[in-house]
Amino acid sequence: MTKHSIETPKEKQNRHKAMEAINTINTMKDEFKNPIAAMDAFYELYEDVYCKQKALHEDAIKVGTMCIQIPSEIIYAFDAVPIRLCNGFYTDDEIGSDLLPQKACPLVKATVGHFASGNFSDKPHFVYSPTTCDQKTKAGATIEGFGYEVIDVDFPRMKESEISREYFRQSIKEFTVDLSRRIGKKLTRKRLKNAVHKIGYAQSLYHKLCEYRKKEHVTISGNDMFFITNAFFFDKIDSWTEKTQRVLEELKQREKENITVAAKVSPRIVYTGSPPIFPNYKIPMLIEQSDAVIVADETCSSNRMFNDMVAVDEWNIYGMLDSIADKYLKACTCPIFTKNDDRIRRIIDLVKTYSADGVIYQAFAGCTVYELEQRSVLEAMEKAGIPILYLESDYSPSQGGQLSTRVEAFIESLKMKKRKQG
Amino acid sequence: MYGYRQTMQKMTLVFLFCMISVANAGTWIEQRYVDKSAGNYDKELYLKEGNFPQSEVVENLNNPTLLYRYDYGEVFETDFDHGKINVNLPYKGSYHLFIQERYVEDSILHIKMYKTRVYNSKGNIEDSLIKEIRGKTVGSHFGKEPFEAVTFEAVLQKPIKQHHINCCVYSGDIVPIKVYFKQKQLKNTPIVITTQQGWEKTVNPDSDGLLSFEIPRNTYADISKNKRFKEQLLIEAFYEENKSGIYKQKPYEKIKYYLSIPLSFHTSPLEYTSKSAGFYVVISVIAVFSLGLYYYRRKKKKIVKEIWFEED
Amino acid sequence: MKKIDNMNLNKVRFTIQVITFLLIVYGGYIGLDLGDKLPTFACVFNPEGTGGKCYLGMIQHDLDHPWQAFLGFAGIAFLISLFIFVLWVWVLNKAWCGYVCPLGTMQDWLTSLRKKLKVKFIEYDWANRESIKKVKWILLILLLLLPFMVSNSLLGLPKLPGGLTMPFCDICPGRMLIPAFVGDFNQFYIDFSNPTDLIMTSLGMIVVGLFIVGSFFKKRFFCYFCPMAAFQYIFSKQSLFKLYKDGSKCTKCGDCYNACDMDILEIADDIKNKNLVTEDCTLCLKCVAACPEEGCLEANFAGKTIFKSTKEGFILRMAMNQQIQKESNND
């Protein structure tokens, strides 16, 4: 006799999330031409974590981070594991909607919802929350209400000034002391140096991947890149580098055999704006399904996380900590900062170096900083003669039709232009 | 007023001096700037005669030859004209000047040699330009080997230094001298040293023929305002050769050689400098500032003590 | 080219500095003589060993003459000397400081010692950093003016005492420290002969003490105040050797500023100017080595790029090109 049981709310959530996840994975696997075999390891990882709720770091101390500004280098130096908790699930977004204002950013809502449900495959022991954008800053308090330990980390909203540089350096020192007390370990020079090198190596692999995207024949799709970079949120770092190395090997082979993911006329797109986080790859997929290819991005789930490496002059703790702080502040192009010419210059530079045909700027409805910056970026692109499309989206699966019309039209116009130019 | 008293004192000194040293009259070359304050760096050279340092200008010489010897050995001849010594030389840099006088008196042929070092600041334009581009030459009082045109010569060797500066000669320096006759070192000839203060000494050669003396310290100088001053001394040497002959229709039975070199020197830095004071200052500055920084840092970064860092 | 871009600049620079140090401090013993108009501290107080002579000493000496003298040959000679100094600057620009200057090299050695002892360096704050800039210009003006005032009465003022004919040499730590390297410690002294010399030599001793403490705690401590740096900078714009920046490639990450021994803020924040040889720059090129952006910073000689920033070079220099084993003793 089969035993019937009523599905608990948790099981129901997991079922919904698994559906969302497998949907994205399957689309990735089936609907694009010339899939990369080595990517299967990544798809499998996502399936394990999001469909099968498999824990990856059972014994380790897991340190939750709410934004990219919490330095992974320092966490790794204590032999702990950083888990970035930015969330892309619509299921969680819906849970969060009851807890945050209706017009709040879906990413924050989903993250809060995730904590509210308490449904983690790798549950963080404690969470560090940098004071980046308003919504994330305030989300910390809400999350604390569900019984999590949330530690706020000071983060300045200006990066040009001397005072903010000193402020964040001090903040990072305090974060380090706090972490060291919680874990009960001392920070040693050797461990920190190794951690800096380890992450630096992972970043160097990302830069190698990007070299293939600069070429005329693009051998890896933007969505696969998002899969790879997004996995860095939660994957074991050694296993991530191994998988990425395998992808690199395959890309080398593909380049020789001239296997590409896009046709010659496919417009090359630079993607910027609110971060696409698994499984919310709605817009990137739409772009690449419309016969364009994303060659570069300027988002905090991908490029911004990997682009800048820690540069150390004196490899002692004082030198490394300060360099780490500088990397997360000075090099960051997040729109939360007051003035943000750096972000505009980064986008223009990306368009140039990746010989892109246009920019797609996507902001989540409610992600105020990206919405606010939209106008200045559009103006700057117009000035530079770069076609740009601004889209507003959210996590709901129902929005497809209207968005796809706009994306397709934009890509078609880029294609026309490209054909004309020959 | 001061000037007057000074002159009076000097005159008294001169008088006393003349009384003490009656016999020793020397001849030497003196040089001075024409008008340095107006930017004129030309020098006038005179031949002086008297009891060193009191002297009068010599206006006439018997059969003089004037030789300038340049750094690398080149020799130039010029004129002696009523006490004035002609300085019109092609190169910029240091020369050694030799004035030679010959005459017969009481059946003795006197051959007198007055030597000094002259710095020519001008020279011909091309040479000076090259020197300017290349860098300044540093002239030397010392260490030139004797040459054929000068029969009897004394050569100053580099002094043995006990102090720090490299340019000059100072009281307390031991100055070694070698005397040559016909380019061969004389090992038995003494020299006579006379300082501005009237101190006089005959220096005898050592077993190698080296004549060395320590420049004496002037204990009478006025050091209330500045402990440094410049003084002069005169080096003289004599030599006789039993050789008869005829010079300018006058017979002689003996040749007497004379040689003089004036040398200016400064007060020894040992008189007015202190190395230990220097080291004390350096060490205390280092100590004060490093300790200051150490405590400043400790105070400023109290949290650091709490930080669980280990720099190794 | 790629090999140069990927080089370990610190090692290469260390080697060049050792070689130039030997040539400048001991070159005289092997007959090296680069003349007396060098734009670097080749010290005259090390007469046997020095491979050339510092122009700052020479110009002080030259200026100690009545003004009338400059109307004649001395004036032409002065201009010729200056011209030759400018020629030297034209060739190497401020790399004289970063690669040749023996005082700079000594400071770099003290910095390495501090690094080994794991003592943190001092940083000035930006406001102080800015006001310190003036000091070297004041020192330059003084060192040119004082010797001249020894021989001339300016504006009716009495002539200065003779103890001020070489005012900068009196306080330059090179006078004491460079001869010390050939075993001559005789320049460590205080002169009691008269008030001027007493003050100047005491100042000199204090400056040496400060130099040693200062450059231990602060990278290139003395260079912030060096009048030679100011003097070179007057002729730097025309030089063959340049540090160029392509502002469009700059992300303002500040890595270059972090690496800069002279705390030059412009190197990170200035995205408009191409020529980034500022008044304090020593052209050590550490910024180029620390820059992760492809071709953003470059060292340029006579219009040719000789060393530029590359991502690959950066990754190699930061030793991020290979996987770190978990328990490796990489140090």
What is the dihedral sign for C-alpha B171, B176, B177, B183? negative
pLDDT reported for residue C161: 87
pLDDT reported for residue A322: 94
State how far the Cα of C220 lies from the Cα of C112, in Å rounded to an integer. 11
B275·C188 Cβ contact <8 A: yes
User: How far B37 CA lies from chain C's nearest CA (Å)?
Assistant: 6
Amino acid at B236: E
Q: Are residues C129 and C155 in the same domain?
A: yes
Q: Which residues of A touch C125 (CB under 8 A)?
A: 162
Tell me the count of A-B CB pairs closer than 8 A. Answer: 30
User: What's the CA angle centered on B204, arms B203 and B207, to 5 degrees?
Assistant: 140
pLDDT digits 0-9 by tens, A388-399: 999 999 998 876
C254 → chain A, closest CA residue: A330
Q: Which residues of chain C have pLDDT under 70?
A: 324-331
State how far the Cα of B299 lies from the Cα of B129, in Å rounded to an integer. 61
A185·B306 Cβ contact <8 A: no
Three-class secondary structure of residue B267 per DSSP: coil
Q: Which residues of A touch C292 (CB under 8 A)?
A: 308-309, 311
pLDDT reported for residue C329: 44
On whether residue C63 sits in a domain, the answer given is yes
CB of A85 closer than 8 Å to CB of A64: yes
pLDDT reported for residue B137: 56
C141 vs B131, residue with greater confidence: C141
Going by pLDDT thresholds of 50, 70 and 90, the confidence category of residue B173 is confident
State how far the Cα of A212 lies from the Cα of A226, in Å rounded to an integer. 15
CA distances from C244 to A383, B248, C235, C277, C305 (A): 26, 81, 17, 8, 9
pLDDT reported for residue C321: 86
Q: Are residues B219 and B241 in the same domain?
A: yes
On whether residue C325 sits in a domain, the answer given is no
Amino acid at C221: F
CB of C311 closer than 8 Å to CB of C293: yes
Instruction: Kindly report the CATH number assigned to the domain that includes residue C311.
Output: 3.30.70
State how far the Cα of B247 lies from the Cα of A395, in Å rounded to an integer. 126
Which of C200, C232, C264 represents a domain boundary (last residue)? Answer: C232
Q: Are residues B219 and B285 in the same domain?
A: no
Q: Which domain holds residue B224?
A: 2-271
pLDDT reported for residue B310: 65
How much is the ipTM here? 0.91
> Which of B309, B310, B311 best probes binding to A when mutated, by most A CB atoms within 10 angstroms?
B309
Q: Shortest CB distance from A311 goes to which of C249, C252, C258?
A: C258
- % of chain A exceeding 90 in pLDDT: 86
pLDDT reported for residue B5: 54
Into how many domains does chain C fold? 2
A359 touches chain C (CB under 8 A): no
B290 touches chain C (CB under 8 A): yes
pLDDT reported for residue B279: 95
A410-413: Cβ within 8 A, 24+ apart: A410/A358, A410/A360, A411/A267, A411/A269, A411/A287, A411/A290, A411/A291, A411/A292, A413/A387
CB of A96 closer than 8 Å to CB of A109: yes
Rounded to a whole number of angstroms, the distance between the first and last alpha carbons of chain A is 69
Q: Are residues C204 and C249 in the same domain?
A: no
DSSP alpha helix (H) spans, A148-188: 162-183
State how far the Cα of A24 lies from the Cα of A22, in Å rounded to an integer. 5
C262 touches chain A (CB under 8 A): no
State how far the Cα of A43 lies from the Cα of B310, in Å rounded to an integer. 41
On whether residue B312 sits in a domain, the answer given is no
CA distances from A253 to A240, A245, A250, C180, C203 (A): 20, 13, 5, 62, 70
Q: Which residues of C touch B279 (CB under 8 A)?
A: 188
Which of C212, C232, C252 represents a domain boundary (last residue)? Answer: C232
On whether residue C21 sits in a domain, the answer given is yes
Report the neighbours of A using a cutoff of 3 or more CB pairs below 8 angstroms. Answer: B, C
On whether residue C37 sits in a domain, the answer given is yes
Q: Are residues B110 and B171 in the same domain?
A: yes
Report the neighbours of B using a cutoff of 3 or more CB pairs below 8 angstroms. Answer: A, C
Q: Which domain holds residue C70?
A: 2-232
pLDDT reported for residue C280: 95
On whether residue C326 sits in a domain, the answer given is no
DSSP symbol at A126: E
Which of C187, C210, C232 represents a domain boundary (last residue)? Answer: C232
Phi, psi for B219 (deg, rounded to 5): -90, -5
Strand ranges for B106-252 from DSSP E: 108-120, 152-156, 174-181, 184-186, 191-195, 200-203, 211-214, 230-241, 245-247, 250-252
C248 touches chain A (CB under 8 A): yes
Strands B75-78, B26-35: pairing is unpaired
Q: Are residues C198 and C304 in the same domain?
A: no
Residue ranges of B 6-35 with Cβ closer than 8 A to chain C: none
Q: Shortest CB distance from B310 goes to which of A177, A181, A187?
A: A187
State how far the Cα of B61 lies from the Cα of B160, in Å rounded to an integer. 37
C190·B277 Cβ contact <8 A: yes
Q: Which residues of B touch C73 (CB under 8 A)?
A: 122, 125, 128
B300 touches chain C (CB under 8 A): no
Q: Are residues B107 and B88 in the same domain?
A: yes
On whether residue C13 sits in a domain, the answer given is yes
Q: Are residues C85 and C120 in the same domain?
A: yes
**What mean pLDDT is predicted for residues B237-263?**
91
Buried/exposed code over A120-157 (b: 16+ C-beta within 10 A; e: otherwise):
ebbebbbbbbbbbbebbbbbbebbbeeebebbbbebbe
pLDDT reported for residue C3: 85
Which tokens go with A267? 């417009």
B302 touches chain A (CB under 8 A): no
Q: What is the DSSP string of C178-239?
A: HHHTTT--TT--EE-SSHHHHHHHHHHHHHHHHHHHHHHHSTTTGGGG-HHHHHHHHTTTT-
- Does residue B302 have a pLDDT over 80? no
B309·A186 Cβ contact <8 A: yes
Q: Are residues B23 and B166 in the same domain?
A: yes
Q: Shortest CB distance from C189 goes to which of B39, B135, B278?
A: B278
Q: Are residues B136 and B282 in the same domain?
A: no
B124 touches chain C (CB under 8 A): no
Q: Are residues B227 and B295 in the same domain?
A: no
Going by pLDDT thresholds of 50, 70 and 90, the confidence category of residue B266 is confident
Q: What is the DSSP string of C50-103?
A: -SS-BHHHHHHHHHSS-GGGGGTHHHHHHHHHHHHHHHHHHHHTTHIIIII-HH
- Does residue B14 have a pLDDT over 70? no
DSSP symbol at C27: G
Q: Which residues of B touch A177 (CB under 8 A)?
A: 303, 306-308
CB within 8 Å of A88: residues ≥ 6 apart:
A107, A110, A276, A277, A278, A279, A280, A395
Q: Are residues B208 and B260 in the same domain?
A: yes
B134·C35 Cβ contact <8 A: yes
User: How far C322 CA lies from chain A's nearest CA (Å)?
Assistant: 6
Among residues B202, B263, B199, B270, the alpha carbon closest in space to that of B233 is found at B263
Which tokens go with A320? 């490394």
Q: What is the DSSP string of B4-32?
A: HHHHHHHHHHHHHHHHH--S--EEEEEEE
Q: Shortest CB distance from A180 goes to which of B303, B308, B312?
A: B308
Tens-of-pLDDT digits for all 422 residues of chain A? 567 788 888 888 999 999 999 999 999 998 888 899 999 999 999 999 999 999 999 889 999 999 999 999 999 999 999 999 999 999 999 999 999 998 999 999 999 999 999 889 999 999 999 999 999 999 999 999 999 999 999 999 998 899 999 999 999 999 999 999 999 989 999 999 999 999 999 999 999 999 999 999 999 999 999 999 999 999 999 999 999 999 999 999 999 999 999 888 899 999 999 999 999 999 999 999 999 999 999 999 999 999 999 999 999 999 999 999 999 999 899 999 998 889 999 999 999 999 999 999 999 999 999 999 999 999 999 999 999 999 999 998 876 678 889 999 999 999 999 888 86
B311·A177 Cβ contact <8 A: no
Going by pLDDT thresholds of 50, 70 and 90, the confidence category of residue B19 is very low
B312·A188 Cβ contact <8 A: yes
**What mean pLDDT is predicted for residues B49-56?**
83
C62 vs B38, residue with greater confidence: C62
Q: Are residues C89 and C227 in the same domain?
A: yes
C78 → chain B, closest CA residue: B132
State how far the Cα of B69 lies from the Cα of A87, in Å rounded to an integer. 95
Which tokens go with B259? 């040689």
CA distances from C66 to A146, B118, B163 (A): 87, 21, 31
pTM greater than 0.90 (yes/no) = no
State how far the Cα of A294 lies from the Cα of B47, in Å rounded to an integer. 97
A176·B307 Cβ contact <8 A: yes
* Number of neighbours of residue A225 by Cβ within 10 angstroms: 24
State how far the Cα of B192 lies from the Cα of B260, in Å rounded to an integer. 9
What is the dihedral sign for C-alpha A316, A321, A324, A326? negative
A219 touches chain C (CB under 8 A): no
User: How far B278 CA lies from chain C's nearest CA (Å)?
Assistant: 4
On whether residue C163 sits in a domain, the answer given is yes
State how far the Cα of A311 lies from the Cα of A323, in Å rounded to an integer. 6
Into how many domains does chain B fold? 2
CB of A126 closer than 8 Å to CB of A151: yes
User: How far B34 CA lies from chain C's nearest CA (Å)?
Assistant: 13
pLDDT digits 0-9 by tens, C47-61: 888 999 999 999 998
pLDDT reported for residue A167: 94
Q: Are residues C108 and C215 in the same domain?
A: yes
> Which of A214, A313, A317, A324 best probes binding to C when mutated, by most C CB atoms within 10 angstroms?
A313
What kind and span of H or E run contains B75? strand B75-78
Q: Are residues C9 and C31 in the same domain?
A: yes
On whether residue B311 sits in a domain, the answer given is no
Q: Are residues C42 and C133 in the same domain?
A: yes
CB within 8 Å of B57: residues ≥ 6 apart:
B46, B47, B48, B49, B83
Q: Are residues C158 and C95 in the same domain?
A: yes
> Which of A81, A298, A316, A334 best probes binding to C when mutated, by most C CB atoms within 10 angstroms?
A316
Q: Are residues B61 and B194 in the same domain?
A: yes
A314 → chain B, closest CA residue: B311
- Does residue B13 have a pLDDT over 60? no
Q: Which residues of C touch A204 (CB under 8 A)?
A: 315, 320-321
Strands A62-65, A81-84: pairing is parallel
State how far the Cα of C190 lies from the Cα of C187, in Å rounded to an integer. 9
State how far the Cα of C185 lies from the Cα of C176, in Å rounded to an integer. 7
Q: Shortest CB distance from A342 goes to which of C125, C251, C311?
A: C251
Three-class secondary structure of residue B71 per DSSP: coil
Q: Are residues B265 and B281 in the same domain?
A: no
A187·B311 Cβ contact <8 A: no
C315 touches chain A (CB under 8 A): yes
* Number of neighbours of residue B92 by Cβ within 10 angstroms: 22
Is residue C306 classed exposed, middle or buried when 0-12, 13-18 and 19+ CB atoms within 10 A define those classes? middle
C200 → chain B, closest CA residue: B278
Q: Are residues C207 and C246 in the same domain?
A: no
Going by pLDDT thresholds of 50, 70 and 90, the confidence category of residue B7 is low
A282-289 and A9-30 helices cross at what angle (nearest 10)? 20
Q: Are residues C58 and C195 in the same domain?
A: yes
Q: Are residues B224 and B103 in the same domain?
A: yes
B300 touches chain A (CB under 8 A): no
B309 → chain C, closest CA residue: C118
On whether residue B34 sits in a domain, the answer given is yes
Q: Are residues B292 and B176 in the same domain?
A: no
